[in-house]
Chain A
Amino acid sequence: MSVSDWLLFLLVRSLSLASLPGSIPFSSLQVQPQPDAKMCDQTFLAITFGPCDSCGLNKPLMNIYLKNEPINYCSLCVELMACQGLATGETIHTLKAESESLKTKLEEERAKLHDVELHQVAEKVEALGQFVMKTRRTLKGHGNKVLCMDWCRDKRRIVSSSQDGKVIVWDAYTTNKEHAVTMPCTWVMACAYAPSGCAVACGGLDNKCSVYPLSLDKNENLSAKKKSVAMHTNYLSSCSFTNSDMQILTSSGDGTCALWDVESGQLLQSFHGHSADVLSLNLAPSETGNTFVSGGCDKKANVWDMRSGQNVQSFETHESDINSVKYYPSGDAFATGSDDATCRLYDLRADREVAIYSKESIIFGASSVDFSLSGRLLFAGYNDYTINVWDVLKGTRVAILFGHENRVSTVRVSPDGTAFCSGSWDNTLRSHSQVGCSSGKWWRWRLNGS
């Protein structure tokens, strides 16, 4: 046999070996030195090596979820399990075809109801006059970028977290720092105030969400009472208490959201559906509401039912990562801010995007969005160091706020709507409010040049 024949023989042999079930082409095999499985980002195909939960053989494993429990099956067992679940006649081809036809059908259904644009409906609404906002307080004290902040329900206190690992509780009226906690990790990307005002939750690169009860005793070391609640397999991007101090909702870079019981640290419900990091979540405003919306790097915004874990609606019109999601005050819509430099409004009952807030001159991504109390104004913080204020109904920009010296990472309106606070990579937080007018009538408040 000649050399070329021998090479051909080897090539054919390796190809036929590769097509056997259970064997993986060498390029995608990652053999870990330890036998225990390591969870990787859900964005990458997770391939670890070890004993299969089903057949027990040492093989390359796939990390999948059955009924919200993570399990490790070898690829052969996954195939067998999937085939058992197939209805007669279902193959990959029929499933793909059905998937495509369902997607087109969804688009058609949504398009059918798209009879008018939001700004057309709002044409008759009186335009907002010239807007003047003033920075009232600057909170200085963080040693590094401010990543996240939250208001307390007493409308006065703020908790903020930063890249240097510090979480600080401020009094926004006096700018005094009331508490400070040093986290064991840097990049504390999420923080939240408990509804009672007695605790704060925070987390970040440590993959955990920890709850710190706040004590009135200034000398007490808050880290001593720390309670680890959530455990993810990647960074914590956002956390929020539900209506009580007892439950926390978290979202993570591992692509999942989860609901936890604070007291026991138990996982109550997990939410799978994003195919990349989840960057932000927001709970529906109503007292009885049990849905929340999440947005992630897969450009999707998903609405979830908290009790069943079911993804009830999904929206994918953004062109880049969704950094922030926020419900409209009535709970019927939500806004998103994205790296594609636009903010969009999605209506839940019409099941589609109803407005885009963008300008050709805005080319930097929006990192954070929030509504004013009535929902007429949308405040959005951008990576070009500005905050743009949009008229939600008309789709136009009514004001730009300058002042920060680095990108704005978080924007939150206070619970009573009198002010909003912005945190930035310039290590400061600033609270802003409207330049007041003496009368309360809103149509008279059109400032002529002043």
Chain B
Amino acid sequence: MSNNSAGGLVSLQKNVKQLRFEAGIRRIKVSQAAADLKTFCLQNAHKDPLLMGVPSSDNPFRPPKSCALF
């Protein structure tokens, strides 16, 4: 950080203001937050092609076959 006292004062003030703001925000328990993350994952798992894979006929990135794609 700066060793110049003037710059240090201004940045200290900003720091304290920011910390006061952050200390005041509302938080929930990790167990609840984690449960929500898990629920979101499981609910959307069936829609996730990278997770489940898509049938080869639907995969646009399948190796090109002999007939032209378009």
Contacts and interface: CB of A to CB of B under 8 A. Distances in A.
Contact of B37 (A118, A310, A352, A442): A118
A330 B44 CA distance: 10
Contact of A121 (B2, B18, B27, B34): B34
A434 B38 contact: no
Contacts of B54: 418, 433-434, 436
Interface string B37-61: 1101111111111111111101111
A76 B7 CA distance: 10
Residue among B1, B13, B21, B52 with max Cβ neighbours from chain A (10 Å): B52
Contacts, number: 225
Category for how many chain A residues contact B:
35 or more
B63 to A, nearest CB: 8
A450 to B, nearest CB: 13
B67 interface: no
Given A98-B16, A373-B44, A92 B8 contact: yes
A438 B55 contact: yes
Given A82-B13, A328-B37, A377-B51, A137 B5 contact: no
Given A419-B61, A442-B45, A122 B19 contact: no
Contacts of B5: 79, 92
A270 B23 CA distance: 23
Nearest to B58: A436
Interface of A: 24, 28, 45, 62, 64, 75-76, 78-79, 81-83, 85-86, 92, 95-96, 98-99, 102-103, 105-106, 109-110, 113-118, 121-122, 125, 128, 136-137, 156, 172-174, 273, 275, 310-314, 328-330, 332-333, 347, 349-352, 354, 372-377, 392-393, 413, 416-420, 431, 433-438, 440, 442, 445
27 contacts: A28-B4, A45-B2, A45-B4, A75-B6, A76-B6, A95-B15, A99-B16, A116-B30, A121-B31, A125-B38, A136-B63, A310-B21, A330-B36, A332-B40, A333-B33, A347-B34, A349-B28, A374-B45, A392-B41, A417-B47, A431-B61, A433-B49, A436-B53, A436-B59, A440-B46, A440-B55, A442-B45
A-B pairs, top 10 by smallest CB distance, nearest first, are: A136-B61, A374-B44, A374-B48, A102-B19, A350-B33, A121-B34, A434-B53, A436-B53, A78-B6, A82-B9
